[in-house]
Amino acid sequence: MAEAPHPTTDASSDLALVAARDLTVAVSRLRRRLRELRGEDGLTPSQTSVLSRLEKNGPATASELAVAERVRPQSMTATVAALVERGLVRRDLDPDDGRRQRLALTDHARAWISDTRRVRDEWLAAALQRELTTEELSTVVQAIALIERAMPR
């Protein structure tokens, strides 16, 4: 059950605005650095998002992916075609309806995701450990939970 919203005041509104701005800047810097770590893989953000979604949720149709990614079916068709061409996604016949195709990650994609995630996680963990105390790391973990709670589902 969702908690009742907290009453807002001018001070809390101002603080929320500062937090939103600072968080946006910090997340942008982190994303840029993580993209640099990933190197020049040539994947677009849309392609990376589709790979992540397939890894998390398993095989899906192009239509399901388009809805989930909030893009037009034509855009998803182009994204999927590029991923298939690179050997990252394969098309399988739907076992329940042979006319439909389900998209799934290839072993190559799974290895790429695993390697990318390992490099990213090791770099970020080392940076956090180098720059923050144990108490500060605990605060970061708590802040992440709060940010997740504030995000619409």
pTM value > 0.85: no
Q: What is the pLDDT along the chain (153 residues), one digit of tens a residue?
A: 455 566 667 778 899 999 999 999 999 999 999 888 877 678 988 999 999 999 999 999 999 999 999 999 999 999 999 999 999 999 999 888 888 999 999 999 999 999 989 999 999 999 999 999 999 999 999 999 999 999 886
CATH number at residue 62: 1.10.10.10
Residue 83 lies in a domain: yes
Residue 81 lies in a domain: yes
| Residue 68 tokens, joined | 């989930």
Domain that holds residue 58: 41-123
Contact yes or no for 134/80 (Cβ under 8 A): no
Helix (H) or strand (E) holding 113: helix 107-131
Contact yes or no for 60/68 (Cβ under 8 A): yes
Contact yes or no for 69/76 (Cβ under 8 A): yes
Residue 63 lies in a domain: yes
Residue 82 lies in a domain: yes
